[in-house]
C-alpha cells in the first residue's frame, strides 16, 4: 500500500464491519489494562494535563479512564472509521481525519503517543521510517511512545502448518487463524501481503464457510467477513520486533517490551519507548 493514498473503500468497509472484528485484531482487556498501567508508570508527571495522540480511533483505548488528566486527540485517515468506530468526542477526547505521516501539529506538541497495530498498514521500510520521523517530531523530548505491534514470527511458519493446526482444532478463533495465514503468506519477506491473496488462499482451501464455522464452533458472520478481502489490492505489512525497533531507533529509546499471554500474544508485543532528547 502506498503511504500517500487517501482513505480507501477498504477502510470504510472495514468500519462498517467493525463489530465482526475480535481479539487479537482488537486489543483485549489485558492489553488495555497493561496500556493504562504502563502509561501511568512511565509517563513523566507534569502540572498540566498531557496532550496525548492516538493513531487511529481504537475505541477500547479511547474509553480508558486515566488516573491523571489527559487530553486525547485521535487521528485516522478514514472518515468511515471516525464516523462508525469512534465512541464520540467529549471534553477530554477529540477525533479528526488526518494523515499520520504529515500531522497538522507543531513540533513537540504531545507528551504521549499511542497506537494499536499501526505499522501493519504501512509499507516497509519507507512507511515505517516516515512514521517514526513524524512521531519523533510531534513528541516532546522525554515523552512516551506506546505501541502494540502485529509481528511475524522468526522463522515464519508455513501456510501448510497453519492449515494443519486449523484442521486439528488447535486455533482458538477465526481472527487468530486469519492473522496466522496472512503472516505465513508474507513469509520472510518485507513486502507485506495483499489482502486479495489472503482471500484467494482461504477460498482455495475452504470450500464452505458454513461448514468451517460449524466444525470450529466459530460465529459464521466472523468467518464470512473474510469476503471483504476479495479483490482488495491493499497490503498488510507484518514486521518483526527488530524491524520496528530499528525504524524507531534514531528518535526513540526502547525502555520496555511486554507480551500478552493470550493466543498469538507473542506476536502482539507492546513496546514502550522514550523520545530521545
In a shared domain, residues 35 and 66 = yes
In a shared domain, residues 136 and 169 = no
Q: Give tens-digit pLDDT for 95-111.
A: 999 999 999 999 999 99
- Asked if residue 155 has a cis previous peptide bond (ω within 30° of 0), the answer is yes
In a shared domain, residues 174 and 136 = no
Residues 116 and 119: their CA atoms lie apart, in Å, by: 9
In a shared domain, residues 260 and 210 = no
CA distances from 193 to 84, 96, 200, 207 (A): 26, 28, 12, 22
What CATH number is given to the structural domain containing 67?
3.40.50.150
Q: Is residue 4 part of a domain?
A: no
pLDDT at 50: 86
Number of residues in the chain: 277
Between the two ends of the chain, the Cα-to-Cα distance in Å is 32
Q: Is residue 3 part of a domain?
A: no
Residues 229 and 8: their CA atoms lie apart, in Å, by: 13
Q: Give tens-digit pLDDT for 36-88.
A: 999 999 998 876 778 999 999 999 999 999 998 899 999 999 999 999 999 99
Residues 147 and 48: their CA atoms lie apart, in Å, by: 24
In a shared domain, residues 113 and 39 = yes
Residues 138 and 181: their CA atoms lie apart, in Å, by: 35
In a shared domain, residues 163 and 246 = no
Q: Which residues of 125-158 are buried (b: 16+ CB within 10 A; e: fewer)?
A: eebbebbbebbbebbbeebbbbbbbbbbeeebbe
Q: Give tens-digit pLDDT for 143-174.
A: 999 999 999 999 999 999 999 999 999 999 99
In a shared domain, residues 17 and 30 = yes
Q: Is residue 168 part of a domain?
A: yes
- Asked if residue 125 has a cis previous peptide bond (ω within 30° of 0), the answer is yes
Domains held by the chain: number? 2
Angle between helices 174-186 and 159-167 (to 10 degrees): 160
pLDDT at 7: 45
In a shared domain, residues 68 and 179 = no
Residues 6+ positions from 245 with CB-CB distance below 8 Å: 254, 271
Query: Which domain covers residue 213, as residue numbers?
Result: 159-236
> Per-residue DSSP letters for 13-33?
HHHHTGGG--TTTS--HHHHH
Q: Is residue 121 part of a domain?
A: yes
The confidence band for 264, taking pLDDT boundaries of 50, 70 and 90, is: very high
pLDDT at 233: 93
pTM across the whole model: 0.93
CA angle in degrees (0–180, nearest 5) for 162-164-166: 70
In a shared domain, residues 138 and 263 = yes
In a shared domain, residues 92 and 139 = yes
Q: Is residue 2 part of a domain?
A: no
In a shared domain, residues 130 and 39 = yes
Amino acid at each position: 500500500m502506498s503511504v500517500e493514498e487517501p482513505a480507501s473503500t477498504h477502510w470504510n468497509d472495514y468500519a462498517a464491519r467493525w463489530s465482526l472484528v475480535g481479539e487479537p485484531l482488537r486489543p483485549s482487556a489485558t492489553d488495555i489494562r497493561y496500556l493504562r498501567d504502563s502509561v501511568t508508570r512511565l509517563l513523566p508527571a507534569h502540572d498540566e494535563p498531557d496532550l496525548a495522540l492516538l493513531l487511529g480511533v481504537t475505541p477500547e483505548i479511547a474509553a480508558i479512564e486515566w488516573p491523571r488528566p489527559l487530553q486525547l486527540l485521535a487521528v485516522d485517515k478514514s472518515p468511515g472509521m471516525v464516523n462508525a468506530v469512534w465512541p464520540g468526542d467529549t471534553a477530554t477526547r477529540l477525533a479528526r481525519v488526518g494523515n499520520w505521516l504529515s500531522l497538522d501539529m507543531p513540533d513537540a506538541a504531545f507528551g504521549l503517543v499511542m497506537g494499536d497495530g499501526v505499522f501493519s498498514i504501512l509499507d516497509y521500510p519507507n512507511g515505517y521510517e516516515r512514521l517514526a520521523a513524524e512521531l519523533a517530531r510531534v513528541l516532546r523530548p522525554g515523552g512516551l511512545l506506546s505501541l502494540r505491534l502485529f509481528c511475524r514470527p522468526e522463522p515464519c511458519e508455513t501456510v501448510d502448518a497453519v492449515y494443519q493446526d486449523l484442521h486439528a482444532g488447535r486455533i482458538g478463533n477465526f481472527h487468530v487463524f486469519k492473522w496466522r495465514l496472512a503472516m505465513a503468506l508474507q513469509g520472510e519477506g518485507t513486502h507485506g501481503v495483499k489482502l486479495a491473496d489472503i482471500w484467494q488462499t482461504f477460498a482455495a482451501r475452504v470450500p464452505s464457510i458454513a461448514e468451517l464455522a460449524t466444525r470450529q464452533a466459530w460465529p459464521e458472520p466472523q468467518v464470512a467477513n473474510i469476503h471483504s478481502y476479495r479483490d482488495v489490492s491493499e497490503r498488510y505489512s507484518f514486521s518483526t520486533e527488530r524491524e520496528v525497533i530499528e525504524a524507531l531507533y534514531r528518535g526513540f529509546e526502547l525502555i520496555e517490551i511486554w507480551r500478552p499471554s493470550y493466543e498469538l500474544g507473542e506476536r502482539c508485543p507492546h513496546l514502550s519507548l522514550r523520545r530521545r532528547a
